[in-house]
Copies of this chain bind each other. A is one copy, B any other.
Amino acid sequence: MTRARSTRIRVRRIPKNARYDADSINRVLDRGRIAHVSFATDGQPYCIPTLYARVGDRVLIHGSSASRMIRHLASGAPACVTVTILDGWVLARSAFETSVNYDSAVLFGRFRPVTSPEEKLSGLAAFMEVVLPGRWAEVRQPSRQELKGTAILEFEIDEASVKTRSGPPDDDDSSDAERDTWAGVIPITRSYGAPEPSPGLRASVPLDRSIGRFVDRDRICHP
């Protein structure tokens, strides 16, 4: 994974919050679930949300082979892939120092199509394994027609940077700390509700193992 520090990527605002190393980039990619993919045609930028999967130092996205976005990206046009996790509201004593905790990665590069059926299959498996390890073996595998209708693109990362904010507000040492205003952080997390069976699910079909593991692995929130 490249860690160049060109003008394009160098984080100028609050540079102490910036990282360029592969571990930091992978951490954000593994925490996130949705990427926003940006590209431009005739000077008009587009920003489209999509699932992704990190496999080593590659980032895969997929979509319908007929999709405009997929076809445009597959042509190798310059792209930007951004993943953001919102971690908390940072409540300072002043409006100015009020902030958010977040973890975000901005990747620059180009996509190229994954064409071999074997690689396409393992790419699709990766999408599931990221979210629900073991699920791939439980579901019906793609037919030849389904595989043909699905495009997988692989992102070649030219440059990447991570920007993160964590911890309490920055005004503990300021004169604002004398105010009788509460200061601290409200953490934000992604949580999962109880699995909701499909209306057409036969009553005899139990929760699959991958979903049970999922429920155990990630904290379930009971309202």
Contact = CB atoms under 8 A, between A and B. Distances in A.
Interface string A91-134: 11111101010101010100000000000000010001001100
A219 interface: yes
Interface string A154-195: 000000000000001100110011011111111111111111
Interface string A69-96: 0000000001111101010110111111
A191 to B, nearest CB: 5
A8 interface: yes
A34 B34 CA distance: 12
A66 B184 CA distance: 27
A22 interface: no
B211 A186 contact: yes
A201 B49 CA distance: 39
B80 A38 contact: yes
A196 B168 contact: yes
A104 B49 contact: yes
A102 B49 contact: yes
A33 interface: yes
Contacts of A104: 49
Contacts of A189: 190-193, 221
Nearest to A150: B96
A95 B47 contact: no
Given A191-B221, A221-B189, A139 B181 contact: yes
A175 to B, nearest CB: 9
Contacts of A66: 13
A206 interface: yes
A56 interface: no
B43 A78 contact: yes
A190 to B, nearest CB: 6
A166 B7 CA distance: 42
Given A33-B86, A168-B200, 9 more contacts: A40-B40, A45-B45, A48-B106, A49-B102, A51-B100, A86-B190, A95-B136, A139-B181, A140-B176
5 contacts: A13-B63, A38-B45, A44-B78, A139-B181, A182-B197
